[in-house]
Amino acid sequence: MYIIVVGGGQVGYYLAKALLDEGHELLVLEKDAARTAFICSDLGSVCVRGDGCEMTTLAEAGAGRADMFIAVTGEDEDNLVSCQAAKHKFNVPRTVARINNPKNETIFKKMGIDVTISSTNIIMESIEEEMPTHPLTHLLDIQEQGLEIVEIKIPPHSPAIGKTVKELPLPAGNTLSLIIRSQQKPFVPDKDTILEAEDQIIAITTPESEEALGTTLRGS
């Protein structure tokens, strides 16, 4: 595959290294001369000095025959513009953008960028998993359908303890998919399952209703 990477910072550099190891044909576009020289001396002549938002630079880089275009600069606006240029001007089949401000995810999706990776969100989610007090841990986002899979632990004083699933005021569209209880095999709850303290619950929810789900299962 021929892959163009825009931005030769830490992310771009290590990404280039990994993609080269996998045997891909690769070109990194980097604005800074010193950084370009460093990457070339380390990885061979795979880095060209240039602005990945300039059409002439992209044409020279052979964007027209690229299979994939990955923009990983530290500026969201640069990633958004270069990916759109790649997509609409050079018809690159797959565009991938790094997003620094999580709020920008919507506009990237609306403008047709195929894959967005929010580094801030990924770091936050990893930290959440390590926080015992956090009400709810994000395990997976299913972006196309607006769903997310989360893990919730029932604390000792939760109002949900002793109640059956059907008695719980679950937000619409939320499902409890799996219960992990100590000394037992994980099981799929039905409407008559009674919740216990310290149950670990894997649930399907939405970004809008996750807070209400947390309140139902953990109390406010």
Partner 1 sequence: MKVVIMGCGRVGGKLAGLLDIEGHNVTILDIDEYSFRRLPPEFGGTALVGNGTDEDALKKAGIEKADAFIALTQGDNRNIMACQIAKHIFNVPRVLCRTYDPLRQELFGSLGLETFSPTTIFAQMLKERLLKAKPKGEKKAK
* Contact footprint for partner 1 (CB under 8 A): 53-56, 75-78, 80-81, 84-85, 88-89, 101, 103-104, 106-107, 110-111
With a CB cutoff of 8 Å and minimum separation 6, the contacts of 218 are 135, 152, 153, 154, 155, 158, 160
Pick the closer one to partner 1 by CB: 106 or 177: 106
User: What's the min distance (Å) between Cβ of 50 and partner 1?
Assistant: 14
Pick the closer one to partner 1 by CB: 13 or 108: 108
With a CB cutoff of 8 Å and minimum separation 6, the contacts of 165 are 176, 189, 190, 191, 192, 193, 195
Alpha carbon distances (Å) from 201 to 96, 141, 205: 33, 17, 12
Pick the closer one to partner 1 by CB: 18 or 59: 59
Pick the closer one to partner 1 by CB: 107 or 197: 107
- Angle at 69 (CA atoms; ends 1, 62), nearest 5 degrees: 70
Read off the DSSP letter of residue 148.
E
User: What's the min distance (Å) between Cβ of 76 and partner 1?
Assistant: 7
Q: Which two tokens stand for residue 32?
A: 């800074």
Pick the closer one to partner 1 by CB: 19 or 66: 66
Pick the closer one to partner 1 by CB: 103 or 191: 103
User: What's the min distance (Å) between Cβ of 141 and partner 1?
Assistant: 19
Measured on CA atoms in the order 217, 128, 95, 73, is the torsion positive or negative? positive
Question: Cα(183)–Cα(9) distance, rounded to whole angstroms?
Answer: 48
Burial of 186 (C-beta count, 10 Å sphere; 0-12/13-18/19+): exposed
- Angle at 76 (CA atoms; ends 70, 77), nearest 5 degrees: 100
User: What's the min distance (Å) between Cβ of 110 and partner 1?
Assistant: 5
User: What's the min distance (Å) between Cβ of 21 and partner 1?
Assistant: 31
User: What's the min distance (Å) between Cβ of 98 and partner 1?
Assistant: 14
